[in-house]
Structure 1
Amino acid sequence: MVNNAATVGRSGVHDFILLRASAVVLAAFVLFMAGFFIATPEVTYEIWHGLFSNVCMKIFTLVAMFSLLAHAWIGIWQVLSDYIKPAFLRGGLQFLFSITLLVYLAAGFITVWGV
């Protein structure tokens, strides 16, 4: 059995709930965006800028990005712990994926908030 070093102090139930909650947030975001594109006949820069000028939309997008980060982190940990047995290689890949996910989060934050 693989020790869950990525989630020290948490149980599989916690990861299960976190995955489901993040999936719900991501599904809501995707449905909202799909509805926006269906309801908007022509998406121009002004319309797109107006949508993301709203603070609620910025927060919703940021919550969706955090949900994506949590969902991806747990998924990557599960896949790597199941299929990559050498601890050094698994740790290196987890580190690489973690840095990549954090860079994506930072880029998304900068893009949405215009920092």
Structure 2
Amino acid sequence: MVKIASTFGRSGTHDFVLVRASALVMLAYTIFLVAWLVSNPGVGYSEWVTLFSHLGMKIFTLLTLTGLLIHGWIGIWQVLTDYVKHSLLRGIIQLIFVIALLAYWFTGLFVLWGV
């Protein structure tokens, strides 16, 4: 069986499930943050530090950042394979997106664990 190296999952079905699961994690994170902001009006720096210093919030945020990485990679791969037919150009664009997604993830990691 030939395996496509640029897909994140093992198959199209696996990619489909990963995209849906990562979307649910990101949705849950967004709902949580909006609910927290609504229930805590006038949020300042100390409240943000208190929120993000909890281990559960750090894990939830890293899980969301990982979901963003997976969701972004699969999404950009699907769009580029459909619309960019020149393989060198597609590879360059994919490389740029991978670097950006990894930069977001590592920035989130370092900022989050610095709290």
> Is the TM value for this pair above 0.5?
yes
Residues 8 and 104 of structure 1: CA distance in aligned 2, closer, same or farther (over 3 Å): closer
What RMSD in Å do the two structures reach over aligned CA positions?
Answer: 1.7
Q: How does 1:1-115 map to 2 (within 5 A)?
A: 4-7=4-7, 10-114=10-114
The total of aligned residue pairs comes to: 113
| TM-score when normalising by structure 2 | 0.92
Cα shift at 1:78? 0.5
Residues 9 and 109 of structure 1: CA distance in aligned 2, closer, same or farther (over 3 Å): closer
Specify every segment of 5 or more residues in structure 1 that has no aligned partner in the other structure, as ranges: none
Deviation >4 Å, runs of 4+: none
Identity %: 50
Cα shift at 1:95? 0.9
Whole-angstrom CA distance in 2 between matches of 1:52 and 1:100 = 23
Q: What is the SS of the residue equivalent to 2:6?
A: helix
Q: Conserved in 1, the CA contact under 8 Å of 2:8 and 2:74? A: no
Specify every segment of 5 or more residues in structure 2 that has no aligned partner in the other structure, as ranges: none
| TM-score when normalising by structure 1 | 0.92
